A = this chain, B = another copy of it.
Amino acid sequence: MEIKEITGGVCAPKGYKAAGTHCGIRYSSEKKDLMMIVSETIADAAGVYTTNKVKGAPITVTKENIADGKAGLIICNSGNANTCAPNGEEIAKKTCELAAAAVGMKAEDVIVASTGVIGEPMAIEPFEKGIPVLASSLSADGSEDAAAAIMTTDTVKKEIAIEFEIGGKTCRIGCIAKGSGMIHPNMATMLCFITSDAAVSADMLRKALKDDVKDSFNQMSVDGDTSTNDMCMIMANGMAGNDIIDSEGEDYDAFCEALAYVTRYTAKALAADGEGAGKLIVCNLEGAPDKDTARKVARSVVSSSLLKAAIFGEDANWGRVLCAIGYTDAEFSADKVDVVMRSEKGSVTVCLDSRYAPHSEEEAAEVLAADEIIIDVDLKDGDASSTAWGCDLTYDYVKINGDYRS
């Protein structure tokens, strides 16, 4: 299927507008801290959420609101996670009411999200101030402002949009996301908002998203921590005019392929911008006995603190790759593993059959002197494969997280 990257982010699909503003949750007026995405018509919607037992109040409220598979508006703040706060649910519900009223919608059709510090009381006043501003500045060019408003320690905005065809009709998917620290399998502090103008039933959206995240967002790790507030939400308003996708088949497969393009791009971008990260680490895992094992082993490699520190130091310490493979909690043989490290600078085979493969340290160091390091691992124990994304562990990670709140 042909997929074309286009501009416009979450506003690229037909019928979406967005805006971002500073409403005062954060001290610095330079930093936007509230955003809104609105669909012209109520869309089918689905979400996946953090698996953390401690959940932000917005997650509880959003789950209730989209239980009917419908939503038309996303509102999200940064600067305060609205988690473990005394009045969290009340504030989240009130936020939905204010946002809905501002655009003439029902509060039950609002998706609400928050990211930031856990445990600090949340006030309603910044929302009362910011929501009217957002409503009056909603625009088809607003995706970038919205992407900026959800950033925390992110250093770059994450935004993408694509165009593709379903049954002869041009459809679009747009996405903005924030990540950085605490990104780990199972929706760790990341927020991802996906819009589409394809017509897809809520049931099929739910299935598509649930299956997709197994190989996208759940395959990336920044620091092994999983957060309280993460969610990945999708809305599909059907304005592209395709026949509604309400069962599996060719159209559904096309939609999933397009969705995968967007989510993999985003997962990679989130890992590359992990807190303090200097290098993206990609592990391509092959030869696993089954898909789930392939995913686990790939994740284990990109999650190892020791390997992440070695990659930061541009040290081809392949023993740490073997070690991380070895402590994966899954059934497979670790006796005949091949490991190749590569980048735009070249490629070096460092391990064959779980033993040292003769190579020069200088050559290996040169390969590692790049921003994107690919580690190809072949377990030679089956046909399943998977990819995981992570980043190096740097002085800056420690700096950022040693003093996050000040």
Q: Which of B55, B323, B404 contacts A317 (CB 8 A)?
A: B404
User: What per-residue 1/0 map shows which CB atoms of A377-406 lie under 8 Å from chain B?
Assistant: 000000000000000011101111111111
- Please state if B84 and A354 are interface contacts (CB–CB under 8 Å): yes
- Please state if A397 and B309 are interface contacts (CB–CB under 8 Å): yes
- Please state if A309 and B118 are interface contacts (CB–CB under 8 Å): no
Quickly give the copy total for this chain.
2
Chain B CB within 8 A of A145 CB: no
- Please state if A53 and B325 are interface contacts (CB–CB under 8 Å): yes
Residue of B nearest to A55 (CB): B326
Complex interface: chain B residues within 8 A of A225 (CB): 304-306, 320, 323-324, 327
- Please state if B182 and A306 are interface contacts (CB–CB under 8 Å): yes
Asked, given contacts A225-B306, A327-B52, whether A356 binds B120 with beta carbons under 8 Å apart, the answer is: yes
- Please state if B85 and A326 are interface contacts (CB–CB under 8 Å): no
Chain B CB within 8 A of A102 CB: no
User: What per-residue 1/0 map shows which CB atoms of A311-329 lie under 8 Å from chain B?
Assistant: 0110101111011111110
Complex interface: chain B residues within 8 A of A53 (CB): 325-328, 332, 334
Shortest A119–chain B CB gap in Å is: 4
CA distance A400 to B305 in the complex (A): 12
Give the number of chain A interface residues (Cβ < 8 Å): 63
Complex interface: chain B residues within 8 A of A324 (CB): 225
Asked, given contacts A225-B304, A228-B323, whether A402 binds B312 with beta carbons under 8 Å apart, the answer is: yes
Shortest A356–chain B CB gap in Å is: 5
- Please state if A323 and B227 are interface contacts (CB–CB under 8 Å): yes
- Please state if A54 and B402 are interface contacts (CB–CB under 8 Å): no
- Please state if B398 and A322 are interface contacts (CB–CB under 8 Å): no
Q: A183-213: which have CB < 8 Å to B? A: 188
Binding site for B on A (CB under 8 A): 51-55, 81, 83-86, 117-121, 181-182, 188, 223-228, 303-306, 309-310, 312-313, 315, 317-320, 322-328, 332, 334, 351, 354-356, 393-395, 397-406
